[in-house]
């Protein structure tokens, strides 16, 4: 049996349930499978991160033992005592979470406001087709402005969901502010949602709830389709960019930052400070990495096949991306892609709106002139030379050039 509240999965069943109108309080013991402090810490973070979480207005609750509680709730409060005895024993006991049930809690409607613009560029890209909607394979109301959007399905990594497929919708930018709606069963809500994870001292990855993150140098962000993992803090290795292939799991490739020569450590920076979270919602995750007088912000949005990077520095410099191991590249409008499929049959794609210089011998891209800020896109053609529609290099470049902003809210209150 299982019991989950948002990203938090309790290691044990609730021991008590108190109901007062639309307010429900679940009491339970939290005893990690491995009774260590390292196993306790992420569970405590996930519980406490539920409170006053600006990025998740409501969260799903799923309880296999009593599905009459399954639905969407607001988090009112969390009690997670951690006295010295509990910490030493590696356990937190007698926790409670108080929730407020939404109107139509079992099946509320979510509304996503969305808008897209075309990144200023000198490449002649004026109407790029970009992802403006992404919903679990249940209900979708495109509203008046997205009825002509192109639809395609792809199976993401459903770590927190049981849905088999999800649907993405593309339409040409620019798109004036509009809205679309969807609904999803609580168990499917996180299907293809954005996710931030950090590695704790026990060497395992755990989801982060909210923005109260522990001191973290090892992190990764995902939307179930692509995943960006920071270079490990304990070695000089590079970071990895991965694509999810149904039936094969995550398939990775090494990437580096570049300023004309390889800098390594992508998507981290050498001597980086701990991670800062700018946004951690199901529809978007953005993290900032600062090192001295320069920084980089990485963003993933729901349904996107491309990770977005934005950088800044006090001293003007070139900036870009390169493959960790030199491989041949082919220029495409607005960027460059690896020429040949890798061992998994995929090809990496880089894109940049500013005037840029590429190196087809090693597959790299940097802004041609020095600057104090810029941005770029990083994608993977799933299937490489045989990529299906939606996964091809030109379409990944389009997703980068069609910059999208969206925000989700629950309509049933």
DSSP secondary structure, 158-212, as one string: -TT---S-EEEEEEESPEEEEEEEEE--GGGTTTT--EEEEE-TTS-EEE--SS-
- Reported residue count of the chain is 413
Cβ-in-10-Å burial (0-12, 13-18, 19+) of 156 comes to buried
pLDDT digits (tens, 9 = 90+) for 130-170: 999 988 766 889 999 999 999 877 777 766 556 656 788 99
Sign of the alpha-carbon torsion through 232, 237, 239, 241: negative
> Residue 321 and residue 392: Cα distance in Å, rounded?
19
Q: Which two tokens stand for residue 10?
A: 């309790």
Residue 270 CB partners (closer than 8 Å, separation 6+):
263, 264, 291
* Residues 179/113, Cβ–Cβ less than 8 Å: yes
* Residues 268/279, Cβ–Cβ less than 8 Å: no
Average pLDDT over residues 281-301: 90
> Residue 303 and residue 254: Cα distance in Å, rounded?
22
Higher pLDDT, 257 or 225: 225
Confidence of residue 94 (pLDDT cuts 50, 70, 90): confident
pLDDT digits (tens, 9 = 90+) for 202-219: 888 999 999 988 877 788
In this prediction the pTM is 0.92
* Residues 130/399, Cβ–Cβ less than 8 Å: yes
Which helix (DSSP H) or strand (DSSP E) does residue 84 occupy?
Answer: helix 84-89
The domain made up of 195-410 is a member of CATH 2.70.98: yes
- Cis ω for the linkage preceding 174 (within 30 of 0): yes
């Amino acid at each position: 049996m299982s019991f989950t509240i948002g990203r938090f999965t309790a290691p044990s069943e609730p021991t008590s349930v108190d109901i007062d109108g639309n307010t429900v309080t679940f009491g339970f013991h939290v005893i990690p499978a491995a009774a260590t402090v390292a196993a306790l810490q992420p569970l405590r973070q996930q519980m406490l991160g539920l409170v006053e979480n600006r990025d998740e207005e409501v969260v799903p609750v799923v309880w296999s033992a009593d599905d009459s509680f399954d639905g969407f709730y607001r988090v009112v409060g969390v009690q997670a005592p951690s006295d010295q005895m509990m910490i030493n024993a590696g356990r937190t006991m007698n926790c409670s979470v108080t929730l407020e049930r939404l109107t139509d809690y079992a099946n509320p409607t979510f509304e996503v406001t969305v808008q897209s613009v075309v990144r200023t560029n000198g490449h002649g890209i004026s109407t790029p087709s970009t992802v403006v909607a992404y919903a679990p394979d249940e209900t979708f109301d495109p509203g008046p402005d997205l009825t002509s959007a192109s639809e395609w399905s792809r199976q993401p990594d459903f770590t927190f969901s049981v849905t088999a497929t999800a649907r993405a919708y593309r339409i040409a930018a620019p798109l004036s502010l509009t809205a679309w709606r969807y609904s999803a069963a609580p168990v499917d809500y996180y299907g293809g949602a954005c996710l931030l994870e950090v590695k704790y001292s026990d060497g395992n990855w755990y989801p982060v709830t909210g923005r109260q993150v522990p001191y973290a140098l090892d992190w990764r962000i995902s939307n179930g389709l692509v995943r960006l993992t920071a270079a490990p803090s304990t070695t000089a290795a590079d970071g990895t960019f991965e694509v999810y292939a149904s039936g094969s799991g995550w398939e990775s490739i090494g990437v580096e930052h570049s300023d004309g020569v390889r800098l390594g450590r992508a998507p981290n920076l050498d001597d980086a400070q701990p991670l800062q979270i700018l946004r951690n919602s199901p529809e978007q995750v953005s993290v900032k990495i600062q090192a001295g007088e320069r920084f980089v912000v990485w963003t993933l949005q729901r349904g996107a096949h491309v990770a977005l990077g934005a950088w800044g520095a006090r001293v003007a410099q070139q900036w870009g991306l390169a493959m960790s191991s030199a491989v041949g590249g082919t220029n495409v409008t607005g960027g460059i892609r690896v020429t040949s499929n890798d061992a998994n049959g995929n090809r990496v794609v880089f894109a940049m709106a500013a005037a840029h210089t590429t190196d087809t011998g090693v597959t790299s891209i940097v802004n041609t002139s020095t600057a104090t800020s810029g941005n770029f896109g990083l994608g993977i053609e799933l299937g490489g030379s045989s990529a299906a529609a939606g996964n091809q290099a030109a379409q990944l470049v389009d997703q980068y050039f069609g910059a999208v902003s969206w925000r989700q809210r629950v309509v049933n209150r």
